[in-house]
Amino acid sequence: MMFALMGSPGVTPLTEILAVFTISFLLLVAVKSFWNRVPPGFKRLPGPRGYPLIGNILDLGKNPHLTLAQMSEKYGDVMLIILGTRPILVLSGLETIRQALIKQGDDFVARPDLYSFQFIADGQSLSFGRSSKEAWRSRRKLARNALKIFSTSASPMSSMCPLEDSVSKEADYLIAKFQELMKEKNRFEPYRYLVISVANVICAMCFGKRYTHEDQELLSMVNLNNEFGEAAASGNPADFIPILKYLPNRTMKAFKDLNQRFNALVQKIIKEHYANFDKNNIRDITDSLIEHCQSKNLDVNANVQLEDDKIVNIVNDIFGAGFDTVTTALSWCLMYLVTYPEIQKKIQQEIDQVLGRERKPKLSDRSVLHYTEAFILEVFRYSSFVPFTIPHCTTKDTVLNGYAIPRDTCVFVNQWQVNHDPKLWDNPSSFNPERFLAADGSGINRVESEKVLLFGLGKRRCIGENIGRGQIFLFLTTLLQKLEFSVCHREMLDITPEYGLTMKHKRCEDFQIKLR
């Protein structure tokens, strides 16, 4: 990310230099004044020196998660950097992050007032928004309850819950599609098909319908979600240099537009739900939210009513969070399976011993497929494909590890650093699922598993975590029960993560399968 300061035509070089110097001086004074609010007896925050106007932006490079992890070795688990004109608190180290997000959760629960956040779900997003604490808690509780109902309760027509049933159908479609591609080309790229199947599972839960893989409405949702991830990953300079929000910005205009288009698409689907809503037949999460609106129920604790227009925002959050995380995780799973074929064989042997090759996997099988669960945990840890949580913000002046932190401080949480911390992991650069198995063979080592950070911690922990973990398990076990994956040239694989809101690997067109 690079910002250029452009002079205006007709301005003399001396005047321009003086203007830049004056602005830089005032900004430095303002930043210094902000961080001088340190009570006597408390240590001043450590961190690298920045440049006027841009702070440490140039220091971060193309892989901020790696740079900040290296900086933490010098400056510690609590450090200060400056992005543009905004001070940023960067947290590393598992115990420090647990202290901030769990033990002092109320102090770090807010979201910062980043300019771009106001355009996501009209500023009312559960994940990105800065709504009041009462409203946020009420909507989060409502969304969590809706997710739980449609991911745990068995349907009347099946012994499976809606999530299991939906994933099973989509996994069967993927198996058939992969076989078809093998007959046509003898090789294929799996991501483009995974993404549609995962989106279909989310659509089934949110909207009660399965789309064909060529349906334009489904493809529009997938494309808009991909665009959002790319736009968010590229960053918005106006978030850190506020004056830039008043200047023309093509990237920001595109970001606003894609959010408006996605909102419009979801509004259309919700309008259709209202037209044929039946309170005696709650079909999906959208119906569940509509029922809440129409019943005029108030949260007894927060006393906040969910308005009709907030349904769109909650559905947006559920779709966006569940879709990208699951797709990216499954894509990494397949890459590691073909990179380490001996691990793939161990997973398949476990599936054969516990499930056989005919019974469909269920969520309850997670407790008995120990090696499979260990593999998924190692994928989470090793790839760390969500390198940072969504930024946090302090709600009041507070103290962390002896450092005074002012109110409204933007906070970055480096999950990648925790997942690769040599103080926590033996040989962290090695891909080794066995690290998560209990020594006595009884299952997963819970102490080790709880060290992995991917879904955040504390009050802002991802509400779709259980749904996401369940989908990844069900898709993976169903595919490996029937198929064996390989690539034409394993030595050519590139599993280097490409930095983004969620980190992806380079697409591989050389996947092959054979039926087991």
Nearest-angstrom CA–CA distance, 169 and 163: 10
Residue 182 region by backbone torsions, left for phi larger than 0, else alpha for psi between -120 and 50, else beta? alpha
| Lowest model confidence (mean pLDDT) among 120-134, 175-189, 207-221, 494-508 | 120-134
Q: What is the pLDDT of residues 107-129, one digit of tens each?
A: 999 999 888 888 777 667 777 87
Q: What is the pLDDT of residues 133-164, one digit of tens each?
A: 777 787 788 788 778 777 765 555 567 788 89
The pairing of strands 78-83 and 86-91 is: antiparallel
Is residue 71 within 8 Å of residue 89, measured between CB atoms? no
Is residue 275 within 8 Å of residue 287, measured between CB atoms? no
Share of the chain above pLDDT 70, in %: 85
Cα three-residue angle 392-397-398, rounded to 5 degrees? 80
Please spell the DSSP secondary structure of 121-177, one letter per residue.
GGGT-TTT----HHHHHHHHHHHHHHHHHHHHSPPTT-SS-HHHHHHHHHHHHHHHH
Note the Cα 465 to chain centre separation in Å.
Answer: 10
Is the pLDDT reported for residue 11 higher than 50?
no
| Lowest model confidence (mean pLDDT) among 87-96, 199-208, 311-320, 489-498 | 311-320
Nearest-angstrom CA–CA distance, 476 and 171: 9
> For all residues of the chain together, what is the average pLDDT?
85
Residues 6+ apart with CB under 8 A from 134: 302, 303, 304
Q: Please report, in range form, the residues annotated as the binding site.
A: 462
Q: Could you tell me where the DSSP H helices lie in 186-307?
A: 191-207, 216-234, 250-275, 285-295
Evaluate the CA torsion angle 315, 321, 327, 329 in order and state its sign: negative
* Fold annotation for 13-515: Cytochrome p450 (1.10.630)
Q: Please report, in range form, the residues annotated as the binding site for heme.
A: 462
3-state secondary structure 199-211: HHHHHHHHHCCCC
Closest CA to 222 of 253, 242, 240, 201: 201
Question: Residue 267: how many CA atoms within 13 Å on its side-chain side?
Answer: 11
Nearest-angstrom CA–CA distance, 59 and 181: 45
Q: What is the pLDDT of residues 245-304, one digit of tens each?
A: 888 877 778 888 888 888 888 888 888 898 888 888 888 888 888 887 777 554 444 444
Nearest-angstrom CA–CA distance, 285 and 291: 10
Is residue 305 within 8 Å of residue 256, measured between CB atoms? no
Evaluate the CA torsion angle 275, 280, 284, 285 in order and state its sign: positive
Is the pLDDT reported for residue 24 higher than 70?
no
Is 72 exposed, middle or buried (CB count within 10 Å of its CB: 0-12, 13-18, 19+)? buried
DSSP symbol at 513 = E
Question: Given pLDDT bands bounded at 50, 70 and 90, which one contains residue 19?
Answer: low
43 DSSP β-pair partners: 403
Question: Given pLDDT bands bounded at 50, 70 and 90, which one contains residue 9?
Answer: very low
Q: Where are the beta strands (DSSP E) in 261-407?
A: 392-393, 398-400, 403-405
Is the pLDDT reported for residue 305 higher than 80?
no
Nearest-angstrom CA–CA distance, 99 and 196: 39
Question: Given pLDDT bands bounded at 50, 70 and 90, which one contains residue 352?
Answer: very high
Segments making up each domain of the chain, as ranges: 13-515
The pairing of strands 392-393 and 410-413 is: antiparallel
Measured between its terminal Cα atoms, the distance across the chain in Å is 47
Neighbour count for residue 49 (Cβ, 10 Å)? 9
Note the Cα 287 to chain centre separation in Å.
Answer: 25
Is the pLDDT reported for residue 232 higher than 80?
no
Residues 6+ apart with CB under 8 A from 19: 11
